[in-house]
Amino acid sequence: MTAPKAAERALLPSIAPPTPGVVRRHALLFAFLLVAAFTAASSWASLTRYEILGTGYLPRGVVPLFLLLVLLNQGVRFLLPSIALSRAELLVIFALLSSIAAVSGQEFANHFYLNLLGLVYYSSPQSQWFGRFTPHLPDYLVPSLNFRDPAILWAYEGMPAGAKMPLAEWLVPLLVWTPYLIGVYALLVCLCLLFARQWEDHERLLYPLTQVPLELAGAQEHSMPAVFSSPFLRFGFPVAALPHSHRAPQPYFSAGPYPPTHREAGGSFSPRPQPPPVPALAEAYPPARWPPRLEAPPHD
């Protein structure tokens, strides 16, 4: 092995070190409860306020939650060290949350449910797609084939006060769609596994986004992560996060002082003078004769 390759291999473990350890049962139970809570919250936020908590390469709803979990785990480690989460367990929780972050809110609440109901809702007589979809749609794939049915109508126009949510009509469609969707995501996982060996073992991809959870989880099991002692995090993170965090409740609680986080720069500059209009030239030619007639040149 040459010296440059040996030096390159020596640097790889320091960039993304593996995390050995055993994930205990109570940690798995806590992880699944956290995943269920995040799924319910992101679906509700997406359907009611169009707030997509799982968007981004590092989901914006997962990173603050994981940061809070790391800080709370430090207190649990001090009071009840036997049930405190280890570094490996924290990383497993982050991986699970990141895996389902966009599925519940963006893919299902926005795309799957609303598009599925839209096949019926937009088949009303007032729509240009009247009768286009419902004659070819099996009744077991949607809650109803009637666009005036509450399960269809209320999803787009709102549920009346005091009315009951029509959950029973979703039983059959969910029983039909769930095995198919599980198979689709299982196929995606298998495709990732096919590419992972090539990416990780041969191409040596470093996955820089994984450095965020690795740094937050810390390198030592029983100490505060070193990143929290960095002055850049202590002073830079509040400056960047607090203004936007202050406006985070605005979609849910409209009343309240919410200072603007950005300013339009257009008013700071004088308007540019408009150029004079350029006249458009239109030229018309007589139609050419087709097919062309070939004539012999005249003889002298």
pLDDT tens-digit profile of 74-104?
888 888 888 888 888 899 999 899 888 878 7
Query: Is residue 292 a part of any domain in this protein?
Result: no
Query: What's the pTM value of the predicted model, to 2 decimals?
Result: 0.69
Two tokens, residue 126: 């007032």
Phi, psi of 26 (to 5 degrees): -70, -30
pLDDT in tens, 192-240: 888 888 888 888 887 888 888 888 888 776 677 888 888 888 888 888 7
pLDDT in the model for residue 270: 59
Angle subtended by helix axes 62-79 and 87-102, to nearest 10:
150
Of 149-158, 248-257, 271-280, which one has max mean pLDDT? Answer: 149-158
| Residues 147-200 pLDDT 10s | 888 888 888 888 888 888 888 888 999 899 989 989 998 998 899 888 888 888
Q: Per-residue pLDDT tens for 125-159?
A: 777 777 788 888 888 999 988 888 888 888 888 88
Whether pLDDT at 65 is above 80: yes
Residue-number span of the structural domain to which 177 is assigned:
24-252
- Mean pLDDT, rounded, of the chain: 77
In a domain, 196, yes or no: yes
How far apart CA 182 and CA 150 sit, in angstroms, is 28
Examine residue 270 and state whether it is found in any structural domain, yes or no: no
Cα–Cα distances (Å) from 250 to 44, 197, 208, 256, 263, in that order, read: 16, 44, 32, 8, 18
DSSP state of 170: G
Any domain includes 64: yes
Number of domains in the chain: 1
**Predicted confidence (pLDDT) per residue in 37-51, tens digit:** 998 888 888 777 777
In a domain, 145, yes or no: yes
Any domain includes 34: yes
Count Cβ atoms below 10 Å from residue 55 Cβ, excluding itself. Answer: 15
Evaluate whether 23 touches 88 at the Cβ level (below 8 Å). yes
Establish if 265 belongs to a structural domain. Answer: no
Query: Does residue 274 lie in a domain region?
Result: no
